[in-house]
Copies of this chain bind each other. A is one copy, B any other.
Amino acid sequence: MSEQPSPSTAAMLVIGDEILSGRTKERNAGHLAERLDPVGIALREIRVVPDETARIVEAVDYLRDRHTYVFTSGGIGPTHDDITAEAIAKALDRPLIEDPRAVAILEKHYAERQLPFTAARRRMTRMPEGATLIENRVSGAPGFVIENVHVMAGVPSIFEAMLDAVLPTLKLSRPLTIRTIATDFGEGTFGEALARVAADHPNVAIGSYPRHDGTRYSAEIVIRGLDSEDADVARIAVASMLENLAETD
């Protein structure tokens, strides 16, 4: 695999007391993972932090140095507890400005709906100087990209719309090849044999994901590799291992 480009990596930062209190179920990280995996960007870390500037700054500082891309969700609405924009500006040491393009978008958005462009709504135009806007087809107020940090909404329908806008702008690695094998054996049965197969196939990552339906276990064995031939060879080895187990069962 040494000749392959190393895959891009990503981290997700979820900002919001409502997730940590259990009031709102987090759905955006799972959606991001589902969208990034097939295009070969490996989501490597997810963090959820409260609506506190110091915690957001600390997390952004850490994650943006270690990953190709950082995605944030939450905290860009119109209320006083929406502090993501200023926290990102602080983390990147840039001035926070009212972005004139965002002002123009929201002036038009609210005028068309005959709603007042209140000071609260105007908060949603604030972003670090030098940001690129992320289109929001759902509710107008844009997200933004600054350096490698993509700042998006927490409401899932808006997060997903923003991700649709962002994905074509990313440098996609060569897609990962993924092979999946379902088995009615539980992990306790095939664990040792699978470890041997994994050791024999160092060019792929082999994971085992248990299912428990309340009475019994089954599992999915997943093989991921940058080279499709490596993945296919490993898949055959896993299938053969499971067949041998079935015969000796």
A interface residues with partner B (beta carbon < 8 Å): 14, 17-26, 29-37, 42-51, 55, 77-81, 115, 118-121, 123, 138-139, 155, 157-158, 187-192, 194-195, 198, 205-212, 214, 217, 220, 222, 224
Contact = CB atoms under 8 A, between A and B. Distances in A.
B17 A22 contact: no
B191 A79 contact: yes
B155 A210 contact: yes
B23 A26 contact: no
A209 B18 contact: yes
Nearest to A42: B20
B24 A212 contact: no
Residue in A32, A35, A81, A191 whose Cβ sees the most chain B Cβ within 10 Å: A191
A36 B22 CA distance: 9
B78 A188 contact: yes
7 contacts: A21-B33, A22-B35, A44-B50, A77-B187, A118-B189, A120-B191, A155-B210
Given A22-B30, A120-B192, A194-B79, A48 B46 contact: yes
A13 to B, nearest CB: 10
Contact of A78 (B23, B155, B191): B191
Contacts of A194: 79-80
B195 A79 contact: yes
Given A118-B189, A192-B119, A26 B26 contact: yes
A209 B26 CA distance: 13
A187 B153 CA distance: 14
A88 to B, nearest CB: 18
A33 B22 CA distance: 5
Given A20-B44, A22-B43, 9 more contacts: A20-B45, A22-B33, A23-B209, A26-B26, A81-B206, A81-B207, A120-B187, A123-B191, A157-B214
B212 A139 contact: yes
A208 B30 contact: no
A63 to B, nearest CB: 11
A86 B79 CA distance: 45
B19 A37 contact: no
Nearest to A178: B21
